[in-house]
Structures are given as C-alpha cells and as structure tokens.
Structure 1
Amino acid sequence: MIIRSAFLEGSVAAAEQPEFDRHMRETVVREILTYPGIRRVTLRKLAEADTGAAAAYMQFDLHFDSIEAMNDALASPVRQTVQARIKAGMGSFSGRVTHVVSEVLEDQK
C-alpha cells in the first residue's frame, strides 16, 4: 500500500475556516475519489501539535495499491481537472502545500 500525503502547511483565517473546511470535505475529497486506482482518501485537520512542529492546518492521505497506480492517477486527465477545482477553493489558505509518499510496512488493528 502506498500513501501520498498532502500537507497544507499554514493557516486559514478563523472566520473563513468553516467554509474552507466544508469545501475540503464536501468537494475536494469527493473529487479526489474519482482518481483512477485510488483506494481511499483520508482528510485530517490539526487538533494540536508539539512545540516546534510544522503547522499543518490539514492533511490529505491518498491510498493506492502501488507506486505505479499512484503515478497513473497523478498523470490522468481526471487529476488535472480536479487540480483546477482544488485550486479554486484554496483562496483563504495562506501557506504552502507539500507532498510525501510513504509505503505502508505494517498496519494492524
């Protein structure tokens, strides 16, 4: 299992957070779920962090079966369309978006 994580490092003004969060939950997550080969999308919002930790307002985790499946999804026309919609809703976010790709080595319940 491969997880591509997008970290929204920065902030959203308090007054704009409800609409921004709603857009991420109701629009962006649903759009990402249309990527070919995607298995799961998780959206997380920072609850608290250690002193000195990066201030990631939100994090998306996109789950794929393999690196190849992830790369195919990222190269797809669907993703290009979704990217435009995501950017359209990012106006109230101040910061940067970074990505990391992780391989799941162990996952137990």
Structure 2
Amino acid sequence: MITRSAFLLGRVAPEDQPAFDRHMRETVVAEILTYPGIRRVTLRKLAQADAGAEADAAYMQFDLFFDSHAAMDAALASPVRQAVQERIKAGMGPFAGRVIHVVSDMLEDRA
C-alpha cells in the first residue's frame, strides 16, 4: 500500500475555519475519491501540538491510499486529477501557509 500525504502547514483564521473545514470534508475529499485507482482518503485536522512545535504546524493532513506506486502515478497524471487540482486551488483562499506532499510505503499495519 502506498500513501501520498498532503500537509497543510499554516493557519486558517478562526472565523473562516468552519467553512474551510466543511469545504475540505464535503467537496475536496469527494473530488479526490474520483481519482482513478484510489483506494481510500483520510482527512485529519490538528487537535493539539506539543509544546515547542513549529508555528506553522500542520493545520490539516490528507492521506491518499493506492495499491502501488504505478497506480498513484497514473492517478496523479490523470485528467481527472488535473481538473480536481484546479477546484481545490480555488477553495484555498482562507488558508495561509504552504502545502507539502510526501509518499510513503506501508511497512506494517497492526491493530
């Protein structure tokens, strides 16, 4: 299993958080689920940070799960993803910060 994670490092003004969070949950996740070959999407929001954490701690994290690197690469190169990216960018106005992406291989998953 391959996971591509997107970290939104920064802030959303408190008054904008409800609408921004709802947009991410209801629109962005639904759109990402249209990527070809995607298996699952998770969305997390920072609940707390350890003392001394960076000022631009991750406001949100998306995890996109794929069966393989090839499946992920095909999804990221797809016209569906390109169209979704444009709509995601259009809704990012309230977010002040940067987005980073990392890809990880699942080594083990235990309960």
What is the aligned partner in structure 1 of residue 87 from structure 2? 85
What is the aligned partner in structure 2 of residue 51 from structure 1? 51
Deviation at 1:50, TM superposition (A): 1.6
Structure 1 unaligned spans of 5+ = none
1:61 matched to 2:63? The reply is yes
- For residues 3 and 50 of structure 1, what CA distance do their matches in structure 2 show? 25
Q: Deviations over 1:28-73 (max 9, x none)?
A: 0000000000000000000011233341000000000001100000
| Deviant stretches of 4+, over 3 Å | none
What is the aligned partner in structure 2 of residue 28 from structure 1? 28
What is the aligned partner in structure 1 of residue 18 from structure 2? 18
What is the aligned partner in structure 1 of residue 5 from structure 2? 5
Structure 2 unaligned spans of 5+ = none
Equivalent residue letter for 2:84: V
- For residues 9 and 58 of structure 1, what CA distance do their matches in structure 2 show? 7
Equivalent residue letter for 1:62: L
- For residues 86 and 52 of structure 2, what CA distance do their matches in structure 1 show? 33
Quote the sequence identity (%).
Answer: 77
- For residues 71 and 51 of structure 1, what CA distance do their matches in structure 2 show? 37
Question: How many residues in Structure 1 have an aligned counterpart in Structure 2?
Answer: 109
